[in-house]
């Protein structure tokens, strides 16, 4: 049985089923999840049946596609409903997306009474309520427990604690923190199941987001508190009438099996917006949707066509991250587009690369506040230099403004998409000059995933994931370009920051105790100090010291580990390495003469 054969289960249902187990059965829960995963399933309408054994069946009833109540999970064994099977099935199933927030939102937290000597105190900004702080504390504790145990020790009981904390946070109107907790649960499940798409770095980011957001709830106020709380749903705001010009269309294929496209357009003022169509279906759906009509007003344009045409929209609604709404009040008609060399699109290529990279980093930051706006796209004029080999494969080297060398890579290696074949052809045309659009890849050297480019003949544009270049489209290659050495790569190309990053990541698979046994890190801290990273050296020392520290009582017995203290040091190290890596990336995009 695979997870995707079970219906999603609401977080609070899984948490309640696990909490209702006796201590003895909780110890058997992980083994029960594994055993149940090997049993056959059968779906009949809204009900999925699992054969626990030859005589016993377990049922998950999911009206509307989600198991929403505890009573919807039933078992036919003699110990039911107090058996381990119901909780095991819920733990094996994917976690359902949270239900919409309750309509009765609580009133804002009352400010502290104004004092006679502080006339301005009456206008103090809003702070989190006691209930919100308590929910954040529970999330912190649950996240710290995951760091203590590591992936290997974060079994079903640990995950159910996170689910309960996430459910409580959602009820307290903290959707950002709740969402981070659900991401951690999903990644823990993927790691323990050996999912090939799982990456430790993703779990590091999710855990740091969970712990950081939970911590900020108690200290934030005003606008910062609103960002920390987040929004349960993406808000769309009225934006009147818009004149939009198509840029390109990119295929979207996710690890969760979703597929579709995203078409990028720009307004008369250069603001970027997107029109998307993504749903379950994978790469096959992505290729098919590209030639379907855009879901926006009365426009008959397909996504491919919109990427080269224009729209006049009235009653437009736009989310903070630039997504165009498709509500009933939105009206759109086809209009003339613009070439990349014509206004208003040409202005996108006039901003210096360093400024574009800084803007893209703010959008692509691992810990940026959600819905902060902006885009991670860069618009560059380049000269192709040819293919270069890297440890991870081959990329295309190009030279842009100021002589800076940029590495261009494929956005998706799926052979059904055109990315890889197009990049290979372009690498065979050194000397060609193109106008390109790429997505920033945070690295210690300038790097982009290549999404679209002007046609090598100078006529039109190419959506590099959907359109396929032919060799006849390429100009005759110029004289071979000497590619070595690849300079400059940025001031942090050989930064020892990875020494701290490695320890941060090592905590996640095996927990705090494993990090505490790694031994002396004096040589590593000395190297970081010599490289001008004293803060990194101090964080590494504090992190490893905290991991190894276990005090004893008067009788020599080990006291409980300081999980909160270790989580604090780990969070500081995770956020610091991310911030420094982003700073080094920004420095790599500075003009050569500025370094």
| DSSP code per residue over 47-102 | EEEEESSSS-EEEEE-GGGSB-SGGGEEE-STTTTSSSHHHHHHHHSPBPPPPPPP
Q: What is the mean pLDDT of the chain?
A: 87
Q: Of the ranges 150-154, 233-237, 487-491, which is most confident?
A: 150-154
Locate 405 and state its tokens.
Answer: 């060398």
Task: Please tell me the predicted confidence (pLDDT) of residue 518.
Answer: 79
pLDDT above 80: residue 103: no
Sign of CA dihedral 289, 295, 301, 305: negative
Nearest to 33 by CA among 74, 88, 83: 88
Task: Please tell me the predicted confidence (pLDDT) of residue 401.
Answer: 82
Q: In what order do the strands lie in the sheet with 272-280?
A: 272-280, 258-267, 237-253, 310-318, 331-335
Nearest to 500 by CA among 541, 548, 442: 541
Task: Please tell me the predicted confidence (pLDDT) of residue 240.
Answer: 85
Task: Please tell me the predicted confidence (pLDDT) of residue 549.
Answer: 82
Task: Please tell me the predicted confidence (pLDDT) of residue 490.
Answer: 40
Locate 417 and state its tokens.
Answer: 């998409």
- For residues 93-117, average pLDDT: 50
pLDDT above 60: residue 312: yes
Task: Please tell me the predicted confidence (pLDDT) of residue 97.
Answer: 78
Task: Please tell me the predicted confidence (pLDDT) of residue 371.
Answer: 59
**pLDDT > 90 fraction of the chain, expressed in percent and rounded:** 64
Residue by residue, DSSP assigns 499-534 as: HHHHHHHHHHHH-HHHHHTS---HHHHHHHHHTT-H
Q: Which residue has the higher pLDDT, 164 or 55?
A: 164
Q: What pLDDT, in 10s, does the model give residues 382-415?
A: 999 999 988 777 899 999 987 899 999 999 999 9
Confidence of residue 113 (pLDDT cuts 50, 70, 90): very low
Task: Please tell me the predicted confidence (pLDDT) of residue 484.
Answer: 44
- For residues 520-529, average pLDDT: 93
398 close to 382: Cβ distance less than 8 angstroms: yes
10 Å CB burial of residue 84 (0-12, 13-18, 19+) is: buried
Mapped onto helix, strand or coil, the DSSP state of residue 405 is strand
288 close to 279: Cβ distance less than 8 angstroms: no
Q: What pLDDT, in 10s, does the model give residues 465-522?
A: 999 999 888 877 655 555 444 443 444 456 899 999 999 999 999 999 888 887 789 9
Q: In whole angstroms, give the CA distance from residue 154 to residue 175.
A: 23
Task: Please tell me the predicted confidence (pLDDT) of residue 595.
Answer: 46
Task: Please tell me the predicted confidence (pLDDT) of residue 83.
Answer: 93
- For residues 135-144, average pLDDT: 97
Nearest to 19 by CA among 142, 156, 170, 154: 156
pLDDT above 90: residue 420: yes
| Three-state SS sequence of 344-384 | CHHHHHCCCHHHHHHHHHHHHCCCCCCCCCCCCEEEEEEEE
348 close to 379: Cβ distance less than 8 angstroms: yes
Q: What pLDDT, in 10s, does the model give residues 244-255?
A: 999 999 999 887
Q: Which long-range contacts does 99-108 make (Cβ < 8 Å, 24+ apart)?
A: 99/10, 99/68, 100/232, 100/233, 101/170, 101/173, 101/175, 101/232, 102/171, 105/173, 106/131, 106/173
Q: In whole angstroms, give the CA distance from residue 121 to residue 128.
A: 17
- For residues 28-35, average pLDDT: 93
Q: What pLDDT, in 10s, does the model give residues 330-366?
A: 999 999 999 999 999 999 999 999 999 999 998 888 8
Looking at 280-284, 516-520, 552-556, which range is the least confident one? 552-556
Task: Please tell me the predicted confidence (pLDDT) of residue 114.
Answer: 36
Confidence of residue 124 (pLDDT cuts 50, 70, 90): low
Nearest to 271 by CA among 374, 349, 380, 378: 374
Q: What pLDDT, in 10s, does the model give residues 160-183?
A: 999 999 999 999 999 999 999 999
Task: Please tell me the predicted confidence (pLDDT) of residue 295.
Answer: 86
Nearest to 110 by CA among 92, 96, 91, 125: 125
Confidence of residue 197 (pLDDT cuts 50, 70, 90): confident
Q: In whole angstroms, give the CA distance from residue 350 to residue 324.
A: 25
Residue by residue, DSSP assigns 423-478 as: HHHHHT-TT-EEEEEEEE--SSS-EEEEEEEE-TTSSSEEETTTS---GGGSPPP-
Task: Please tell me the predicted confidence (pLDDT) of residue 146.
Answer: 96
- For residues 12-25, average pLDDT: 95
Q: In whole angstroms, give the CA distance from residue 140 to residue 133.
A: 10
| Three-state SS sequence of 242-290 | EEEEEEEEEEEECCCCEEEEEEEEEECCCCEEEEEEEEECHHHHHHHHC
Cis peptide before 46 (omega within 30 of 0): no
Task: Please tell me the predicted confidence (pLDDT) of residue 389.
Answer: 87
Q: Which residue has the higher pLDDT, 314 or 298?
A: 314
């Amino acid at each position: 049985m695979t997870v995707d054969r079970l219906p999603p289960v609401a977080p609070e249902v899984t948490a309640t089923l696990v909490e209702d187990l006796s201590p003895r059965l909780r110890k058997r829960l992980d083994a029960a999840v594994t055993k149940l995963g090997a049993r056959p399933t059968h779906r009949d309408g809204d009900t999925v049946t699992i054969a626990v054994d030859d005589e016993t069946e377990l049922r998950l009833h999911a009206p509307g596609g989600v198991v929403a109540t505890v009573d919807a999970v039933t078992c036919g064994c003699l110990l039911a409903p107090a058996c381990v099977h119901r909780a095991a099935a819920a733990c094996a199933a994917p976690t359902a997306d949270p239900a919409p927030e309750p309509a009765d939102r609580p009133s804002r937290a009352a400010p502290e009474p104004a004092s006679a000597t502080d006339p301005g105190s009456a206008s103090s900004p809003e702070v989190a309520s006691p209930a919100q702080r308590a929910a954040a504390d529970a999330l912190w504790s649950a996240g710290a427990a995951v760091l203590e145990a590591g992936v290997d020790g974060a079994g079903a009981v640990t995950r159910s604690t996170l689910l309960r904390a996430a459910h409580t946070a959602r009820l307290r109107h903290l959707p950002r923190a709740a969402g981070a907790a659900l991401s951690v649960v999903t990644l823990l499940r993927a790691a323990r199941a050996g999912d090939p798409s799982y990456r430790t770095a993703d779990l590091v980011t999710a855990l740091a987001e969970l712990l950081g957001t939970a911590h900020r709830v108690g200290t934030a106020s005003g606008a910062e508190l609103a960002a920390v709380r987040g929004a349960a749903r993406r808000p769309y705001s009225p934006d009147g009438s818009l004149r939009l010009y198509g840029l390109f269309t990119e295929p979207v294929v996710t690890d969760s099996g979703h597929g579709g496209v995203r078409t990028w357009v720009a307004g008369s003022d250069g603001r970027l917006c997107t029109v998307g169509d993504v749903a379950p279906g994978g790469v096959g759906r992505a290729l098919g949707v590209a030639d379907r009509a855009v879901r926006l007003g009365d426009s008959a344009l397909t996504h491919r066509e919109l990427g080269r045409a224009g729209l006049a929209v009235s009653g437009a609604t736009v989310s903070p991250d630039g997504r165009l709404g498709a509500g009933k009040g939105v009206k759109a008609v086809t209009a003339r587009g613009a070439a990349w060399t014509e206004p208003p699109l040409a202005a996108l290529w006039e901003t210096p690369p360093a400024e574009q990279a800084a803007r893209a980093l703010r959008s692509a930051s691992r810990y940026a506040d959600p819905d902060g706006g902006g885009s991670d796209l860069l618009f560059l004029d380049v000269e192709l230099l040819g293919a270069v080999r890297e440890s991870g494969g081959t990329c295309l080297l190009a030279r842009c403004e100021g002589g800076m060398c940029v590495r261009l890579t494929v956005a998706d290696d799926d052979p059904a998409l055109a990315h890889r074949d197009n990049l290979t052809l372009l690498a065979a045309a050194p000397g060609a000059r193109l106008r390109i659009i790429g997505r920033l890849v945070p690295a210690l050297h300038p790097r982009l995933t290549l999404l679209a480019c002007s046609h090598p003949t100078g006529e039109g544009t190419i959506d590099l994931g959907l359109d396929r270049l032919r060799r006849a489209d390429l100009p005759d290659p110029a004289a071979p370009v000497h590619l070595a050495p690849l300079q400059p790569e940025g001031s942090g190309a050989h930064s020892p920051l990875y020494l701290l990053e490695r320890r941060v990541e090592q905590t996640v698979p095996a927990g705090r105790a494993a990090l505490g046994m790694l031994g002396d890190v004096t040589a590593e801290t000395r190297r970081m100090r010599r490289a001008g990273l004293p803060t990194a050296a101090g964080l590494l020392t504090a992190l490893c010291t905290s991991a190894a520290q276990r005090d004893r009582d008067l009788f020599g017995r080990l006291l409980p580990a300081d999980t909160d203290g270790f989580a604090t040091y780990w969070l500081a190290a995770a956020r610091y390495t991310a911030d420094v890596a982003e700073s080094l990336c920004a420095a790599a995009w500075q003009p050569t003469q500025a370094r």
